[in-house]
Structure 1
């Protein structure tokens, strides 16, 4: 299922990447609508993409998919039963302290992942892989709590991922992340409309 496939006569991909692509797009569309079903598609997409990234030797991103699966289970719980009244979390904003925590977490996770990739894998994209892996993990954690700024982070991260996946000849996935940037902008606008004035720290 991960064998090379030429799509439309010029786009190199595989059936596995196509399936992952479709699931991921559905996931983001459901995230924008704040539907808890998004987490089910997140789990399925992450599982398939773990195989795609292993084959491409993007090991940080591969390991991230397994973390995404675990975080998605937590996210589903938060969206369904989180919050003070256990009716699900609502959209909130980061405080200044929250931004400092986000930045610090990103640096610490980046350093840890880069060290692991350097010493235990044959990755040829150690630093960018580690940087984007760390950022994605932090952004996903914000998403589980419906913190608005997760969309700002995804716009930056997904934009950088386009270059990484193009370099790795995962052109369909690069296209997917281009669409993710557009969807993240739409998600940011949609969530602003439902934003509450209460600031929740991550």
Structure 2
């Protein structure tokens, strides 16, 4: 049976990604609402890292919304689509190397999670993806593709079929986001 929180979160999450692809700042308030609803969906499914991630997403969405709404002296947006510099790739790799095992360790020692490592990986990558999205690094879409592929398996295992379908759609939307942002890329 699909809970109303999952159904409404599903619709809001799709709208949020659609707005992100189009660089509409409304993606951020939609992210807040969807994340709060999905907190309960994941908590009830014993996916504690995913549940906690939703609360972090809600907070990060406030930051992302501020980032995307900032205007420079010329009244143009301060944040523009850009590529991640080489140093940024090192930061991403290091962050993943620290976050994934740390989150898995916390889940194994402080929860009754039955999928600690599988829950921790998309959680760690999602934190990275959200930070990249907030700064409009085009590589955020690559992070989301990886997150979504792993999440499909995780949510199917947990029997969250509507959410599994959502993440299948997210894979396609992430590819579309990558392509659309490639067209709008202003910095080499």
Q: TM-score, normalised by structure 1?
A: 0.89
How many Å separate the matches in 2 of 1:40 and 1:197? 27
Structure 1 spans left out of the alignment, 5+ residues = 6-12
Aligned partner (choices 42, 58, 64) of residue 69 of structure 1: 58
Partners of 1:57 and 1:84 lie apart in 2 by: 48
Higher-helix-fraction structure: 2
Once the two structures are superposed, the pairs formed by residues 46-125 of structure 1 within 5 Å of their partners are 46-81=35-70, 87-125=77-115
Question: How far off is 1:193 after superposition?
Answer: 0.9
Distance 1:173 1:84, change over 3 A: farther
Matched, 1:22 2:50: no
Q: In the superposition, relative to structure 1, how do residues 142 and 135 fare at CA in structure 2: closer, same or farther (>3 Å)?
A: same
Within-5 A mapping of 1:1-202: 5=1, 13-81=2-70, 87-197=77-187
In the alignment of these two chains, the number of paired residues is: 187
d(CA) in 2 for partners of 1:172, 1:82: 38
Cα distance in 2 for partners of 1:84, 1:44 equals: 32
1:196: how far off?
Answer: 1.6
